[in-house]
């Protein structure tokens, strides 16, 4: 799968996971408005997908099931946001690495 396609699929899957639960979506919107004034759900998903794509490229590990890692990573990002915490790039790198490790 090309990197561009993988990235777009990650953004789509993360966004879909967020929109599966409208109650969560309202809560996440409030948290994003509080902590990420210049961001939206879509920009957070795009940034998170970019981070996972970079971690995937850097890992160069054929034993990681990246399909499952995307779902686990999306869940971690959502959980982090639902806890009311600001999410930054370092948080995303840690989550992406942990997701990749857990699906090896």
Is residue 49 within 8 Å of 55, Cβ to Cβ?
no
pLDDT in tens, 57-74: 899 878 899 889 999 999
- What pTM did the predictor assign? 0.87
pLDDT in tens, 19-41: 888 888 888 888 888 888 888 88
Which tokens is 82 given?
Answer: 């639902």
Sign of CA dihedral 52, 53, 57, 62: positive
């Amino acid at each position: 799968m090309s990197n561009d396609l993988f990235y777009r699929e990650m953004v789509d899957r993360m966004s879909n996971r967020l929109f599966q639960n409208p109650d969560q979506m309202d809560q996440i919107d409030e948290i994003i408005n509080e902590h990420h004034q210049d961001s939206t759900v879509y920009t957070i998903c795009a940034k998170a997908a970019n981070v996972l794509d970079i971690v995937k490229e850097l890992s160069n590990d054929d034993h990681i099931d990246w399909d499952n890692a995307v779902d686990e990573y999306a869940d971690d990002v959502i959980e982090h946001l639902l806890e009311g915490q600001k999410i930054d790039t370092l948080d995303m790198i840690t989550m992406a690495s942990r997701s990749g490790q857990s699906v090896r």
